[in-house]
Chains A and B, each alone.
Chain A
Amino acid sequence: MSLWVDKHRPKDLMKLDYHKDQAVRLKSLVQQSDFPHLLVYGPSGAGKKTRIMCLLRELYGSGSERLRQETMHFTTPSNKKIEIMTVSSNYHIEVNPTDVGIHDRVVIMDLVKNVAQTHQIDSAGQREFKVVILNEVDDLTKDAQHALRRTMEKYVSTCRLILIANSISRVIPAIRSRCLTIRVPAPTETEIASVLHAVCKKEGLSLPPELAMRIAKSADRNLRRALLMCEACKVQHYPFTSDQKVPEPDWQIFIRETAAMILSEQSPKKLAEVRQKLYELIIHGVPPDVIFAGLLKELVCNCDMSMKCKIASYAAQYEHRMRLGNKPIFHIEAFVAKFMAIYKKFLEEALGDVF
């Protein structure tokens, strides 16, 4: 008994609920003999993986759905043994190279070589190539990305790469230019609402349209989140009512609390408390950029326009530093300190005007 989000995942390109023209284009791509490397990107919960699985099914038939998990072992040049979990069918192998941290280069080189060096046994009825799916390409180290670009060309006859990324800004141009980039935009709220309706219908439930819209809105255009929330709503209160509470993710609540703390008082002491909250967020795996975004979104609500620009630019600056640096907390903290300083000054000036 899976969750709805997995239970009702479409398995055929043609059955996808949105971006249907893109699905059609992909199908025609498959039918051509020339299948390029793909770089699929888009925000989380937009349906990239679903689309790729459908594509694989289109390429190889249902055989690609018979998945198995394997652990592969590699040895780094420094003689460290690493292992990584892969998901594979007869026709493709999927791997998440960032699982091994800084050793991702070894994984990419060895794994792609392994796969690419073997030909399909019965190439007659099948494709001549296998597919290697690499997840989270934008989090690959630069080394790994550079290792990738040579292998992509070298083994093009026996394997195709499908790269999945959230954003291509951190994928080096050399790779971008070697791939057909496919953007999978996040579904609109109406699209999400319609998917929710469809799912509820399959489940035999009736979902009020208002509730569907509210869920879609609070899900941040993330279909996965929307479906999970919808199911949670159902658990909480069924039959649905249009004004029932939509359970928000805990981390979002937490970020909002943090922002409220920052706004409530600007002092080093408060900053120390905020730091504890930030640590908690980081411990719970909330990506620091999400923290940045969440904080900024909450904080700018209380600012006038000129300050909004200032804050946003600082947020961008510190987020950039965070990406270059090692310890996210340093930069988030610096941002919070900066905001506090600016906001306090702003408040004092405002008070000064009053008197």
Chain B
Amino acid sequence: MSRDIRSFFTVKKEKTKKDEDSDVIPESPNVQVTNKKKQSRKKRQIQEDSDEEIFSAPNKKKKSPTKSLKEVKAADLFGSAPIKRTEPIVKKIKKETELTIHSDEEFEQSLIQLDEKINQEIQATKEIANETLTNNKDTLKDKKDDILKDKRDDISKDKKDEKLSVNDVTNNKKRKLNKSLTEHSDNKVEVSKKMKKDFSEFIENGDGLNTSEPTQESPETKQKKRKLDKSLNESVISDEERYERKRQSAALYQKYLNRSGPKHLGTKEMPEGTPDCLKDCSFLLTGVLDSFERDEVIAAITKYGGVIKNGISKKVTHVIAGDDAGPAKLAKAQELGIKIMNEDEFLQFIRDSSNKKTPPKDVKKESDKKKDKSSEKKREKVKKSPQNNEINVNKAKVEESPRNIKQSEVKSNLNKVESKVESKEHTKMPVKKDIVNDGELKKSCSTEVPNSLMWVDKYKPKSLKQIIGQHGEASNVNKLLNWLKKWYMNRKAKLPKPSPWAKNDDGGYYRAALLSGPPGVGKTTTVSLVCKELGFDTVELNASDTRSKTLLKEQLGELLSTNTLQAYATGCAGKGAVSKKHVLVMDEVDGMAGNEDRGGLQELISLIKTTSVPIICMCNDRNSEKMRSLVNYCYDLKFTRPRVEQIKSAMMSICYKEGIKLSAEALSQLIVSSGQDVRQTLHLLSVCASGLTNDEAKAARKDIKMGPWEAIRKVFSAEEHKTMSIIDKSDLFFCDYSIMPLFVQENFLNVTPHCPKNEILDRFSKAADSLSLGDLVEARIRGSQAWNLLPTQAMFSSVIPGHHLSGHVSGQIQFPSWLGKNSRANKMNRLCQEIHAHTRLSTSGSKSSIFLDYSTHLRDAIINPLIQDKTDGIENSLKVLESYYLLREDLDSLVELSLWPGQRNPTVLIDSKVKAAMTRTYNKKASALPYAAASIKKGRATEDGELSHEEDDTSDVELDAMIKKKKEPTKTSTSKTKVKQEDSASTSKAAAKKKPAPKQKKK
């Protein structure tokens, strides 16, 4: 991360320098910190100063005269001289300064080449340096006052706000620049020198950390490269750079998308070499490497003492070529007889040379290489811009290290400045030291960061094509892409709602999309990539946000009606900067639960109804109760698990990149065991990377919550039994111990055991016997809460039957019918109990006697007269009903009770007219019952748990029911309207229920 930020930061700086009018750089804490760090670093480096400063001083001076020169080859001028590690930093500084001042590309080009030359031939330029230094002195004296002012401003500013953002610093520098420019416009050489000084100082202030770290060089190199590219028309552009540019313009981003990064990023590891193993080597990188980012390689090279070159020259000892290597470079390299190596050769080279153990020339450097490097760089800078850099000089003084003549001269020049600045500096010191420590810490972290990235993030798809299992035309990615593309058009079109069964619906009607699917299949990735692709700006809310009704309403409402300034932030000002292209991404909508998110879903739905931006929702289970309402308003995109082969191919390449040796079989086992969960598989792989053998990989399996449907197959599967211990087998039972016994019982007859034919029935009887024992154990468990018996039940109800019937389940797994049958039996029992209660007074039998004996005969006694005598039989059948105090409804119950499968329902024989007439007459003459009909009904209802205070009222109701019914005949006879008669039953009951209410009112 930190690396990213740094590179981001540097890029921005460059940018601001380039287009000096656009000053908008977001102030971020990171940026501020680095600023501080840089300053402090400077100091430290100075403390470590040694006599090597000599070399750097000339460098600076060299530049100024060479500026006017064009295209002078370093090799021609200076030949090959020993290469210093300090060069990258020097390069950078110069380049940046030059860049900022001169936008002229050609000039830059020449400067870059000059840089290289300078870097290589420091000693050769000593004399020239001396000359220029004296020049410098003169100019210095002239400008002393101005500079001093500036410095003071700077320092005071620094003091005031140490958190001063880079912005401000750069502004300061610019201001200074301008000043110096205006003041010394006559003396061009001086001006340029001055500017250089200013900028070198700036860079030391603002960029010290960057320059001291190997990774920091990436931006400069990139920039240089870019220039090179422009001039040479080379197509080699590092993607790191592209990555940065991407934010600036959509066009660049598109290009970036088209270009692939390192194909097998991270598959190889940078070998550990001895610190100086690449000493005396200078490298040129060209093309896209196979498994490393450019920065990584650069970091490694500088770490091991090597030097990075940006242009091909004789000084370059090795060319590291990747894919799409610049043809010009390669040709030149061949011409010069430079060794061209590929990535692997390079790695091997590191290994080899580290084994050789280069003679320790520079003891100092070896002792702590990095520090030395950075300090060297600093020293060089100090020499370059002694006047500006009072701080450095100051420090140097404190150290009292031996100085060369030039240094002392500079000092004398700056004496006055020092005396003034010193006091301020001292106050600054402690703070800076702290920061230095921080900086060091950060540095150490930052070097590790690339490795600590989780694989899931490391190999996150960077383009739509990389999403596993979403390649097809009809893939969800495409659907979502189309839907989102046409979203605004569709809003205007006002499409009709498609039928839920319509195929190839593009979801035009819907304002929201619902992505559903199991975890780890790439829903979120898809959404973010699709949005990126179409340039939509996402507003994401996930389960970690509170998504209650009010929050959604207030916050989202505001959010979605605003314009995005994202484009401003990334620097592409103009018309395209403001867009309204939001997407609201509601991740994990099924997680909207609890008090936190109360009303969230309803609000979301109402948002969807009126939204002016596309909404994308994501959930795991679209069939869940919670999602039911939402589904109706969403374009439904169901993500299924990718096939094993699909994941496998992607994983294979990752394995290759990471250098994991895993057999294809073990890999697919891993994938299957994770349930085709890409994310899970990646995690498993990264565990494998830490030394998991093939066997272990096979054993590794995701703890999947197995449903009884899967478990039941395993219970009876002979194949599975081979690898399962008895514990595993009983674990199958525990996937749901309450329903597994029923599943086993339901399905054990469908098993085909692998055994001799004459044994089959024996085995079934043994299994059934074990099941019956299992039932005993369950009764004990439930009866006396003896839950410790569960393992015993597991044995009897699942393991033993499974053992006896070890084979395979033929046919489908059935859901236990026992549950359904049981509830039917309960219903019958309830009906029977009701009838029993009604007939209690006139019969003597128990409930089961009703079942077994009465039901049929009673039914026949009632129905037969109706069948035989039609309307005349009504009287008789009603008499039976009456004598047994049965209700009309009880007749239906009786019929149900006494009807056996295969028998014809006797009621169909009754003429429907007779039936109606019978009902009518029954209602008319409804007789007194010994029990309260209403209360019986209620009794049934109360079984469902709704017994309440109404209990008290029921007595009234009962009374009324009876009274009503007695009165009924007279009433109806007086009114005599047929309608009334027909309705009398219902009305009487309704009245019975209604009556208590007015009564209560009266009371």
User: Residues of B contacting A222 with CB < 8 Å?
Assistant: 853
Is A83 a contact of B758 with CB atoms below 8 Å?
no
Is B849 a contact of A44 with CB atoms below 8 Å?
yes
A197 at the interface (CB under 8 A from B): no
**Among candidates B750, B765, B833, B840, residue contacting A341 with C-beta atoms closer than 8 Å:** B765
Name B854's closest neighbour in chain A (CB-CB): A228
Per-residue interface assignment for chain A, residues 316 to 334, with 1 indicating a CB less than 8 Å from any chain B CB and 0 otherwise: 0010011011110111011
Is B939 a contact of A83 with CB atoms below 8 Å?
yes
* Stretch in A172-180, A182-190, A262-270 with 4+ CB within 8 Å of B: A262-270
Is A44 a contact of B846 with CB atoms below 8 Å?
yes
Name A7's closest neighbour in chain B (CB-CB): B883
Is B856 a contact of A250 with CB atoms below 8 Å?
yes
A18 at the interface (CB under 8 A from B): no
Is A254 a contact of B900 with CB atoms below 8 Å?
yes
Q: Mostly helix, strand, loop or mixed at chain B's interface?
A: helix
User: Residues of B contacting A14 with CB < 8 Å?
Assistant: none
**Among candidates B749, B778, B837, residue contacting A85 with C-beta atoms closer than 8 Å:** B837
Interface bin, chain B = 35 or more
Query: Given A286-B851, A338-B768, is A330 in contact with B775 using a C-beta cutoff of 8 Å?
Result: yes
Task: Give the most central of B761, B776, B876: most A CB within 10 Å.
Answer: B761
Is B821 a contact of A283 with CB atoms below 8 Å?
yes
A135 at the interface (CB under 8 A from B): yes
| Closest-CB distance, B245 to chain A (whole angstroms) | 71
User: Residues of A contacting B876 with CB < 8 Å?
Assistant: 1
A224 at the interface (CB under 8 A from B): yes
A126 to B15, CA, bound (A): 115
Query: Given A83-B939, A321-B775, A337-B768, is A269 in contact with B749 using a C-beta cutoff of 8 Å?
Result: yes
Is B852 a contact of A249 with CB atoms below 8 Å?
yes
User: Residues of B contacting A3 with CB < 8 Å?
Assistant: 857-858, 861, 880
List residues 262-291 of chain A with CB under 8 A from any CB of chain B: 266-269, 271-272, 275, 279-280, 282-287, 290
* Stretch in B60-68, B823-831, B969-977 with 4+ CB within 8 Å of A: B823-831
B358 at the interface (CB under 8 A from A): no
* Stretch in A67-75, A145-153, A303-311 with 4+ CB within 8 Å of B: A67-75
User: Residues of A contacting B833 with CB < 8 Å?
Assistant: 99
B860 at the interface (CB under 8 A from A): yes
Is A333 a contact of B832 with CB atoms below 8 Å?
no
User: Residues of A contacting B842 with CB < 8 Å?
Assistant: 2, 6
Is B817 a contact of A279 with CB atoms below 8 Å?
yes
| Closest-CB distance, A206 to chain B (whole angstroms) | 21
A2 to B758, CA, bound (A): 57
**Among candidates A68, A290, A344, residue contacting B930 with C-beta atoms closer than 8 Å:** A68
| Closest-CB distance, A79 to chain B (whole angstroms) | 11
Is A282 a contact of B857 with CB atoms below 8 Å?
no
List residues 857-893 of chain B with CB under 8 A from any CB of chain A: 857-858, 860-861, 864, 876, 879-880, 883-884
Query: Given A250-B856, A285-B828, is A348 in contact with B758 using a C-beta cutoff of 8 Å?
Result: yes
Is B769 a contact of A283 with CB atoms below 8 Å?
no
Query: Given A67-B841, A275-B749, is A341 in contact with B761 using a C-beta cutoff of 8 Å?
Result: yes
| Closest-CB distance, A167 to chain B (whole angstroms) | 13
User: Residues of A contacting B864 with CB < 8 Å?
Assistant: 235
A82 to B598, CA, bound (A): 37
Per-residue interface assignment for chain A, residues 46 to 73, with 1 indicating a CB less than 8 Å from any chain B CB and 0 otherwise: 0001100100000000000001110101
Is A337 a contact of B849 with CB atoms below 8 Å?
no
User: Residues of A contacting B723 with CB < 8 Å?
Assistant: none
A155 at the interface (CB under 8 A from B): no
B818 at the interface (CB under 8 A from A): yes
Query: Given A251-B852, A271-B749, A331-B775, is A284 in contact with B769 using a C-beta cutoff of 8 Å?
Result: no
Is B848 a contact of A287 with CB atoms below 8 Å?
yes
A25 at the interface (CB under 8 A from B): no
Task: Give the most central of A231, A267, A337: most B CB within 10 Å.
Answer: A337
User: Residues of A contacting B765 with CB < 8 Å?
Assistant: 334, 337-338, 340-341
A230 to B819, CA, bound (A): 38
User: Residues of B contacting A327 with CB < 8 Å?
Assistant: 775, 818
**Among candidates A44, A73, A87, residue contacting B848 with C-beta atoms closer than 8 Å:** A44
Is B853 a contact of A282 with CB atoms below 8 Å?
no
Query: Given A69-B837, A232-B860, A324-B776, is A333 in contact with B853 using a C-beta cutoff of 8 Å?
Result: no
Is A285 a contact of B832 with CB atoms below 8 Å?
yes
Is A321 a contact of B773 with CB atoms below 8 Å?
yes
B745 at the interface (CB under 8 A from A): yes
A49 to B930, CA, bound (A): 20
Name B884's closest neighbour in chain A (CB-CB): A2
Per-residue interface assignment for chain B, residues 333 to 346, with 1 indicating a CB less than 8 Å from any chain A CB and 0 otherwise: 00000000000000
Task: Give the most central of A1, A254, A324: most B CB within 10 Å.
Answer: A1
Is B900 a contact of A224 with CB atoms below 8 Å?
no
B951 at the interface (CB under 8 A from A): yes
| Closest-CB distance, B120 to chain A (whole angstroms) | 90
**Among candidates A282, A322, A340, residue contacting B761 with C-beta atoms closer than 8 Å:** A340
**Among candidates B758, B818, B828, residue contacting A284 with C-beta atoms closer than 8 Å:** B828
Q: How many A-B residue pairs have CB under 8 A?
A: 189
Query: Given A69-B931, A272-B749, is A81 in contact with B942 using a C-beta cutoff of 8 Å?
Result: yes
User: Residues of A contacting B769 with CB < 8 Å?
Assistant: 334, 337-338
User: Residues of A contacting B760 with CB < 8 Å?
Assistant: 267-268
A111 to B824, CA, bound (A): 31
Per-residue interface assignment for chain B, residues 762 to 794, with 1 indicating a CB less than 8 Å from any chain A CB and 0 otherwise: 101101110111111011001000000000000
Is A337 a contact of B897 with CB atoms below 8 Å?
no
List residues 90-147 of chain B with CB under 8 A from any CB of chain A: none
A33 to B559, CA, bound (A): 93
User: Residues of B contacting A334 with CB < 8 Å?
Assistant: 765, 768-769, 771-772
**Among candidates A50, A87, A283, residue contacting B824 with C-beta atoms closer than 8 Å:** A283
A15 to B842, CA, bound (A): 19
A225 at the interface (CB under 8 A from B): yes
Is A2 a contact of B883 with CB atoms below 8 Å?
yes
B595 at the interface (CB under 8 A from A): no
Name B821's closest neighbour in chain A (CB-CB): A279
A50 to B849, CA, bound (A): 14
B252 at the interface (CB under 8 A from A): no
A102 to B939, CA, bound (A): 17
A54 to B726, CA, bound (A): 63
**Among candidates A87, A235, A283, A333, residue contacting B828 with C-beta atoms closer than 8 Å:** A283
| Closest-CB distance, A283 to chain B (whole angstroms) | 5
Query: Given A9-B844, A224-B849, A275-B749, is A333 in contact with B768 using a C-beta cutoff of 8 Å?
Result: yes
User: Residues of B contacting A12 with CB < 8 Å?
Assistant: none
User: Residues of A contacting B772 with CB < 8 Å?
Assistant: 318, 321-322, 325, 330-331, 333-334
Name B777's closest neighbour in chain A (CB-CB): A325
B205 at the interface (CB under 8 A from A): no
Query: Given A69-B837, A251-B852, A334-B769, is A325 in contact with B779 using a C-beta cutoff of 8 Å?
Result: yes
A97 at the interface (CB under 8 A from B): no
A128 at the interface (CB under 8 A from B): no
Is A69 a contact of B840 with CB atoms below 8 Å?
yes
Query: Given A283-B825, A330-B745, is A83 in contact with B880 using a C-beta cutoff of 8 Å?
Result: no
| Closest-CB distance, A70 to chain B (whole angstroms) | 8
Given contacts A71-B935, A336-B768, 14 further A-B contacts (CB under 8 A): A45-B849, A222-B853, A224-B849, A225-B852, A228-B853, A228-B857, A231-B861, A268-B760, A275-B749, A318-B772, A327-B775, A330-B774, A333-B771, A348-B758
- Top-5 shortest CB links A-B: A285-B851, A49-B844, A337-B768, A334-B768, A334-B772
Please report A residues at the B interface, Cβ cutoff 8 Å. 1-3, 5-6, 9, 44-45, 49-50, 53, 67-69, 71, 73, 81, 83, 85, 87, 96, 99, 135-136, 222, 224-225, 228, 231-232, 235, 249-251, 254, 266-269, 271-272, 275, 279-280, 282-287, 290, 318, 321-322, 324-327, 329-331, 333-334, 336-338, 340-341, 344-345, 348
Can you list 24 pairs linking A and B with CB atoms under 8 Å apart? A3-B861, A67-B930, A71-B939, A99-B833, A224-B845, A231-B861, A235-B864, A250-B856, A268-B749, A268-B751, A269-B749, A285-B832, A285-B848, A285-B851, A286-B852, A287-B848, A321-B772, A325-B775, A330-B745, A330-B768, A330-B772, A331-B775, A333-B772, A337-B769
